């Protein structure tokens, strides 16, 4: 194998994706100033023709022979010794093992056709055809019908992957593949770079497979998904910068000054303008709020949302009435033990609010809850530890008054000085729905579940309340019975309450109840 042949083979085999030659040809078209590039793949029996056309500057004979063909042997000139770096991208066409490559090009008054064989030998002819710019056709013979169909599909995917953000309108088989240069992120910041059209997009994301990418003239240099080494895991980005270059093998970006400058700017933007933009987005109650909360929870855990102090004064949280709450206020209330979390508006939320607590909105499995955990630390929902008493209507209280008074009198005989009232539990299906009554130090405040069924220590100066739960079968039956025998109803209800509380004096109370009823009956 000659030096030229060895170098030629090395150049061809350096491309990991053989179809990436389509990207190289589009790159050449962009460099030639074309605003439209057409890519086609045509099938004619076993023959597959890849074609790339542009309306750029084209090439004259000096460019063709002096630069484009320097790697190849010229039959006319007999010079097989020139090996140059220029045109490495064009020579990628041989990665697909074509049987022939045809280049037609027009520049000024010159029009030429170059025919290159599969061995790299070439011939140059005058072109007798009206043409603008350059047309490259790569001909490959493929006997397998399935492989031919896959070449079309794979070519479309290749052009889409590498060229969808190109400055020019790149079309595949007539259909534009142009895609807006954007990020799929909860919050995105755009940073203009020095050259016109160059820009940096930095995004805030909670996704583990968030995209990142480097581009030059919109053509892909390197793309990937997931956390990028050296950046916070919540950062994703795309950057188009004419100073960035890929390696000869097209599988990485050259780590030079331009690369490190870009990476430093991404990190600076992520910790500054991106966080400010996220705080602004959190102040809004739009449809993307949940996604923004989930993404913002990650930098929030590192303190970036409340440091410096000015950030903590942003009203990014919400209370149970959907009113704005600053991070500073929420953190202060949490430190003082005066902040609670609820899944939404409820009687329990209003009871906590009445008690002077900051009631923060934290729906289950939501971005809002994740953000609160990150800012304030993990916390339980209020309904997991407390219940609320919903006062009965005036008419219901009036109707239940005789039974309530009788029940209070009977409990007093056992030393339990309580005010008996009627109401309902806002229990959120947490296990107290069937108990006939609960004890509360103050029915207007949230009632701890841990003490709701415990008979409290009372005295004349320290009374508690017993709330009869109207929607339970025991209380409903007692109310019906009280219409004919109030003291019997009170006896049965008091016994049920004490038994439910686990009080050891339930039987003794029952006996006292019967004596009290007998006295009243006498």
**All domains of the chain in start order, with CATH:** 3-176 (3.30.565.10), 187-271 (no CATH), 275-384 (no CATH), 387-521 (1.20.120)
Which tens digit of pLDDT belongs to each residue from 334-374?
Answer: 999 999 999 999 999 999 999 999 999 999 889 999 999 99
Taking the C-alpha atoms of residue 238 and residue 190, their distance in angstroms, rounded to an integer, is 10
Q: What mean pLDDT do residues 444-463 have?
A: 84
pLDDT at residue 417, as a whole number:
87
Q: Is the pLDDT of residue 325 over 80?
A: yes
Instruction: State the pLDDT confidence band at 389, using cuts at 50, 70 and 90.
Output: very high
Coil, helix or strand at residue 110: strand
Q: Which residues pair with 37 in a beta bridge?
A: 54, 170
Q: Is the pLDDT of residue 23 over 50?
A: yes
Taking the C-alpha atoms of residue 194 and residue 339, their distance in angstroms, rounded to an integer, is 48
Instruction: State the pLDDT confidence band at 415, using cuts at 50, 70 and 90.
Output: confident
Which tens digit of pLDDT belongs to each residue from 200-256?
Answer: 999 999 999 999 999 998 999 999 999 999 999 999 999 999 999 988 777 889 999
Distant-in-sequence, close-in-space partners of 207: CB < 8 Å, separation ≥ 6: 184, 236
pTM: 0.82
Which tens digit of pLDDT belongs to each residue from 245-290?
Answer: 988 777 889 999 999 999 999 999 999 999 999 999 999 998 999 9
pLDDT at residue 522, as a whole number:
45
The pair of structure tokens assigned to 254 is: 């050259």
Coil, helix or strand at residue 438: strand
Average per-residue pLDDT for the chain? 89
Taking the C-alpha atoms of residue 174 and residue 445, their distance in angstroms, rounded to an integer, is 70
Distant-in-sequence, close-in-space partners of 32: CB < 8 Å, separation ≥ 6: 54, 56, 57, 58, 133, 134
Instruction: State the pLDDT confidence band at 73, using cuts at 50, 70 and 90.
Output: very low
Taking the C-alpha atoms of residue 451 and residue 440, their distance in angstroms, rounded to an integer, is 8
Judging by beta carbons within 10 Å of its beta carbon (0-12, 13-18, 19+), is residue 67 exposed, middle or buried? middle
Q: Which residues pair with 106 in a beta bridge?
A: 111
């Amino acid at each position: 194998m000659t030096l030229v042949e060895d170098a030629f083979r090395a150049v061809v085999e350096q491309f990991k994706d053989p179809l990436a030659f389509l990207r190289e040809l589009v790159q050449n078209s962009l460099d030639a100033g074309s605003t439209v590039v057409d890519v086609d793949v045509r099938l004619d029996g076993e023959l597959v023709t890849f074609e790339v056309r542009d309306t750029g500057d084209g090439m004259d004979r000096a460019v063709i022979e002096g630069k484009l063909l320097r790697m190849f042997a010229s039959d006319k000139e007999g010079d097989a010794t020139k090996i140059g770096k220029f045109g490495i991208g064009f020579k990628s066409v041989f990665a697909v093992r074509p049987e022939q490559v045809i280049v037609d090009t027009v520049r000024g008054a010159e029009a030429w056709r170059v025919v290159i064989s599969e061995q790299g030998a070439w011939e140059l002819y005058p072109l007798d055809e009206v043409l603008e710019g350059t047309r490259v056709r790569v001909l490959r013979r493929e006997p397998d019908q399935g492989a031919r169909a896959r070449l079309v599909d794979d070519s479309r995917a290749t052009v889409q992957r590498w060229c969808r953000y190109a400055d020019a309108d790149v079309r595949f088989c007539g259909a534009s593949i142009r895609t807006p240069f954007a990020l799929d992120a909860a919050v995105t910041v755009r940073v203009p770079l020095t050259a016109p059209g160059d820009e940096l997009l930095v995004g805030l994301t909670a996704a583990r497979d968030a995209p990142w990418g480097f581009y030059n003239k919109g053509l892909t240099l390197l793309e990937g998904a997931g956390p990028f080494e050296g950046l916070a895991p919540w950062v994703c980005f795309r950057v188009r910068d004419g100073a960035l270059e890929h390696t000869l093998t097209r599988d990485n970006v050259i780590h030079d000054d331009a690369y490190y400058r870009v990476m430093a700017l991404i990190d600076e933007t992520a910790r500054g303008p991106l966080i400010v933009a996220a705080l602004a987005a959190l102040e809004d109650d739009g449809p993307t709020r949940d996604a923004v909360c989930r993404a913002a929870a990650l930098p929030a855990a590192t303190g970036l949302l409340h440091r410096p102090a000015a950030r903590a004064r942003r009203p990014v949280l919400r209370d149970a009435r959907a009113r704005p709450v600053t991070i500073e206020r929420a953190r202060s209330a949490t430190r003082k033990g005066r902040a609670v979390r609820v899944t939404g508006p409820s009687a329990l939320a209003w009871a906590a609010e009445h008690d002077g607590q900051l009631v923060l909105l934290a729906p289950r499995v939501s971005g809002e809850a994740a953000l609160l955990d990150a800012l304030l630390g993990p916390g339980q929902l209020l309904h997991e530890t407390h219940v609320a008493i919903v006062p009965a209507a005036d008419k219901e209280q009036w109707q239940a008054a005789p039974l309530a008074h009788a029940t209070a009198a009977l409990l007093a005989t056992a030393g339990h000085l309580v005010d008996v009232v009627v109401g309902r539990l806002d229990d959120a299906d947490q296990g107290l729905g069937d108990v006939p009554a609960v004890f509360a130090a103050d029915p207007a405040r949230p009632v701890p579940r841990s003490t709701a069924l415990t008979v409290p220590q009372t005295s004349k100066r320290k009374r508690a309340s017993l709330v009869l739960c109207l929607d339970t079968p025991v209380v409903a039956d007692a109310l019906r019975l009280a219409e004919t025998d109030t003291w019997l109803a009170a006896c049965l209800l008091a016994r049920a309450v004490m038994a439910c509380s686990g009080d050891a004096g339930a039987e003794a109370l029952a006996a006292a109840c019967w004596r009290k009823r007998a006295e009243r009956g006498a």
